[in-house]
């Protein structure tokens, strides 16, 4: 049931109404920001509500049957607080919103709360953004609690994981930029543990000289040593001077074969060094991206690759902090972090392939 102050209710019952809406937005980073559809800024309850006349909103739909309340807002980018970069970076995701109605000619009449909820999906097109406000009943439609999963459900370093991230966090500055998601910093010399890679996909040897195959280790790791090399028929190759059934390999993982293997399929097992910061996180502390963060896709000593491009271009001199990551696998938790007692997954529970396969 909506409560309306008596003075405001009397004003709404009159023939002439001087009302506007106030939008109080609380972002997940704690920032408290107010907007109003009035043509002037309004200060109410000690909070400044900035005039943002460049938006329209739909009717508020709500019911008494616990169905989700919906409201859509269309607006142009006319505020320095809401930019395409801030929306794309997730700064406004899941922000809580309270919409109130006031008499702008007499704020002492109080406010009537029209709706509240959290911001949902945001779409951007041609300088206009659209967002939806999801009512509190939306929470009733979400699943809560843990589910079975082969990988760990804890966030690396949180209260469930308990791993101390302090000694795994480092600071630096960008020394050179390669593309939108890669940069170099020679001070990042950290190396991760070694791991084995079993090739189940295979590689096709070129039909023309040079008959080479370049190995690309996962997570931007570094090639360490070769393992078993065999063709599609299961014949195992030996290491030496390239010839029939013989290959050579460079320290960077470049495999060389001879013409007798041209066009054939080859399976290469090898060991590699895990990227120390792979699956970790970067938080920028200066430059245009200051305050924004991004996941690390891959890492090799001195070279960082992000999962996605930052809202603003990377620039030489931008400073950052970077923390090591975890791929949430049972073996990584046990062997690398020695934290298997806090592993939040079920790696040995049979999957659907076991349940559905023919029995007997």
How many Cβ atoms sit within 10 Å of the Cβ of residue 55? 19
Give the range among 26-35, 235-244, 265-274 with minimum mean pLDDT: 26-35
More confident residue, 124 or 50: 50
For residue 35, the model assigns a pLDDT of 87
For residue 150, the model assigns a pLDDT of 86
pTM of the model: 0.62
For residue 72, the model assigns a pLDDT of 66
For residue 255, the model assigns a pLDDT of 97
List, for residues 305-329, the tens digit of each pLDDT value.
999 889 889 999 999 999 999 989 8
For residue 92, the model assigns a pLDDT of 79
For residue 64, the model assigns a pLDDT of 55
What DSSP line would sit under 276-332, residue for residue? TTTT-EEEE-SSTTTT-EEEEEEEETTEEEESS--SS---TT-EEEEE------HHH
CATH number of the structural domain 166-191+276-325: 2.40.30
Q: How confident is the model at residue 360 (pLDDT cuts 50, 70, 90)?
A: low
List, for residues 59-115, the tens digit of each pLDDT value.
555 555 545 556 666 665 556 677 777 777 777 788 888 889 999 999 999 999 888
Domain borders along the chain are: 6-141, 166-191+276-325, 194-273
Q: Judge whether residue 352 has pLDDT over 90.
A: no
Q: Which residues contact 47 (CB under 8 A, 6 or more apart)?
A: 24, 32, 34
What DSSP line would sit under 77-94, residue for residue? S--SSS-HHHHHTTTTTT
Asked if 318 and 126 touch (Cβ cutoff 8 Å), the reply is no
Q: Judge whether residue 267 has pLDDT over 90.
A: yes
When the pLDDT of each residue in the chain is averaged and rounded to a whole number, the result is 85
How many Cβ atoms sit within 10 Å of the Cβ of residue 234? 7
For residue 61, the model assigns a pLDDT of 56
Partners of 33 in beta bridges:
25
Kindly state the tokens that stand for 341. Answer: 């007692």
Q: Does the domain made of 6-141 have the CATH classification 3.30.1360? A: no
Q: Do the domains 6-141 and 166-191+276-325 sit in the same CATH topology, yes or no?
A: no
Q: What percent of the chain has pLDDT over 70?
A: 86
List, for residues 117-141, the tens digit of each pLDDT value.
888 777 777 667 777 777 766 666 6
For residue 76, the model assigns a pLDDT of 59
For residue 77, the model assigns a pLDDT of 53
Residue linked to tokens 């859509």 = 72
């Amino acid at each position: 049931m909506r409560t309306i102050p008596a003075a405001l209710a009397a004003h709404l019952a009159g023939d002439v109404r001087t009302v506007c809406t106030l939008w109080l937005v609380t972002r997940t980073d704690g920032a408290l920001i107010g907007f109003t559809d009035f043509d002037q800024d309004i200060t109410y309850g000690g909070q400044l509500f900035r005039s943002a006349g460049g938006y329209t909103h739909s009717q508020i739909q709500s019911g008494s049957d616990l169905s989700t309340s919906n409201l859509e807002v269309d607006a142009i980018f006319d505020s320095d607080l809401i930019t395409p970069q801030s929306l794309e970076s997730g700064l406004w995701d899941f922000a809580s919103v309270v919409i109130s109605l006031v008499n702008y000619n007499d704020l002492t009449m109080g406010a009537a709360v029209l709706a509240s909820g959290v911001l949902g999906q945001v779409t951007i097109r041609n300088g206009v953004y659209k967002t939806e406000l999801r009512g509190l009943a939306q929470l009733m439609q979400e699943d809560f609690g843990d589910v079975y999963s082969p990988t760990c459900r804890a966030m690396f370093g949180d209260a469930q994981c308990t791993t101390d991230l302090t000694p795994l966090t480092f600071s630096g500055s960008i020394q050179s930029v390669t593309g939108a998601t890669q940069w170099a910093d020679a001070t990042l010399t950290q190396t991760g543990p070694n791991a084995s890679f079993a090739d189940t996909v295979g590689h096709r040897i070129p039909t023309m000289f040079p008959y080479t195959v370049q190995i690309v280790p996962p997570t931007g790791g570094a090639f360490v040593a070769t393992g078993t090399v065999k063709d599609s028929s299961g014949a195992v190759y030996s290491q030496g001077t390239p010839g029939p059934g013989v290959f050579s390999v460079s320290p960077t993982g470049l495999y060389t074969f001879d013409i007798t293997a041209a066009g054939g399929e080859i399976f290469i097992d090898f060991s590699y060094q895990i990227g120390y910061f792979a699956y970790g996180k970067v938080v920028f502390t200066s430059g245009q991206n200051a305050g924004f963060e991004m996941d690390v896709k891959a890492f090799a000593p001195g070279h960082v690759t992000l999962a996605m491009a930052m809202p603003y271009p990377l620039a030489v001199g931008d400073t950052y902090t970077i923390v090591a990551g975890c791929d949430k696998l049972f073996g990584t938790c046990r062997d690398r972090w020695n934290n298997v007692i806090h592993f939040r997954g079920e790696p040995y529970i049979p999957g659907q392939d076991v349940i559905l396969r023919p029995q007997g």
